[in-house]
Structure 1
Amino acid sequence: MKKLIWLFALSLALVSCKNETKTIETEVEAESVAEDLAYASFGMEINDADALETDRMMEHYKGLKAGDTVNAKMRGKIVDVCSKKGCWMTLDAGNDETIMVRFKDYGFFMPLNAEGEVVVNGLAFVTETSVDELRHYAEDAGKSKEEIEAITEPKFEYRFEADGVLLQQ
């Protein structure tokens, strides 16, 4: 009977030591992954899980009509930021197209020198932008007077109203 108790105690000790080692290894792996992705957060707190790549998001945009909206989270590369306040930015959509991102209720702004990769969360939609609004955006972007005056037709645009943004550092 004493041998059986000793055998049981020894088995229990071995099993508990083995599980503790696995837990430590898992925690170390999780910490190293989190350190690889450092973001500055703006607006609502979001994460980068399940963010669509730009080409995948463009498939959703192609199916939208004016007035349609889609809740989405996407990853993209900044092309331009409003040079006056950081109240909008454009993302590269590929094929010489861009996505205009504005921020919900002007609740937050991007740094004027923001560049690189971002993750945006919010509503995706399509719209036709008036000549006056296009000229306003061109002026905010610091375009020349000739470039601003060259805008003479409204433009069909891909838009995004972000409630949260992660800027990769």
Structure 2
Amino acid sequence: MKKILLFIALTLSMLSCKDETKTAETKIQDVKEEIAYASIGMEINDADALTSERMMVHYKNMKAGDTVPTKIKGKIIEVCSKKGCWMTLDMDGENEVMVKFKDYGFFMPLDAEGDVVVNGKAFVTETPVDELRHYAEDAGKSKEEIEAITEPKLEYRFEADGVLLKTE
């Protein structure tokens, strides 16, 4: 009987030694989606760019004459149809930002559309009637729409030194 118990104990101990528990190592890789951009103006990247909604919080706390150096993401509403010297970005569905390019050093493609990242300085200004009419004319507005502009407008503006235009 002792031999049988000894045999069983040895067999169990040998089986328990051979029983290797295998742990599967799962490697999780950070997959960062690369977004393709066309760079216009100064070379910039999209790191640390504020969303347009987040930038509107800053704009609403600014008064005419204030400036904030920043980088924002936005969606193009319109580009100057004559030479691409300005564009407007949708900020939150209700507000838009007029973007001009530093020292007219570069221009947007006339058919530009979609998402962009702009780097530069944000500011608030009061735009006079004659300038508002000029922009309306550049945008191809009708004569009636241009003549309907009779008061200056407090506007959110941006002077960009670099733009990233998302490509498909």
Aligned match of 1:152 = 150
Tell me whether 1:129 sits opposite 2:127 in the alignment. yes
Alpha-carbon offset, residue 94 of structure 1:
1.9
SS of structure 2 residue aligned to 1:166: strand
Query: How far apart, CA to CA, are the structure 2 residues paired with 1:64 and 1:73?
Result: 16
Q: How does 1:1-169 map to 2 (within 5 A)?
A: 33-34=33-34, 37-169=35-167
| Structure 1 segments unaligned to the other structure (5+ residues) | 1-21
SS of structure 1 residue aligned to 2:137: helix
Q: Deviations over 1:32-59 (max 9, x none)?
A: 733xx11011000000011100110001
The one-letter code of the counterpart of 1:112 is: L
SS of structure 2 residue aligned to 1:45: coil
| Superposition TM-score, scaled by structure 2 size | 0.80
Aligned match of 2:24 = none
Query: How far apart, CA to CA, are the structure 2 residues paired with 1:55 and 1:94?
Result: 6
Query: How far apart, CA to CA, are the structure 1 residues paired with 2:144 and 2:33?
Result: 48
Aligned match of 2:20 = none
Alpha-carbon offset, residue 95 of structure 1:
4.2
Query: How far apart, CA to CA, are the structure 2 residues paired with 1:51 and 1:101?
Result: 16
| Superposition TM-score, scaled by structure 1 size | 0.79
SS of structure 2 residue aligned to 1:156: strand
Query: How far apart, CA to CA, are the structure 1 residues paired with 2:121 and 2:86?
Result: 14
Q: Deviations over 1:10-48 (max 9, x none)?
A: xxxxxxxxxxxx9xx97xx67x733xx110110000000
Quote the sequence identity (%).
74
Structure with max Cα Rg: 2
Which structure is higher in helix share? Answer: 1
Q: Deviations over 1:85-106 (max 9, x none)?
A: 0000000022421100000000
Query: How far apart, CA to CA, are the structure 1 residues paired with 2:49 and 2:126?
Result: 26
SS of structure 1 residue aligned to 2:107: coil
Q: Deviations over 1:109-157 (max 9, x none)?
A: 0000000000000000000000000000000000011110110110000
Aligned match of 2:23 = none
Query: How far apart, CA to CA, are the structure 2 residues paired with 1:89 and 1:142?
Result: 13
Query: How far apart, CA to CA, are the structure 1 residues paired with 2:37 and 2:110?
Result: 16
Query: How far apart, CA to CA, are the structure 1 residues paired with 2:33 and 2:53?
Result: 25
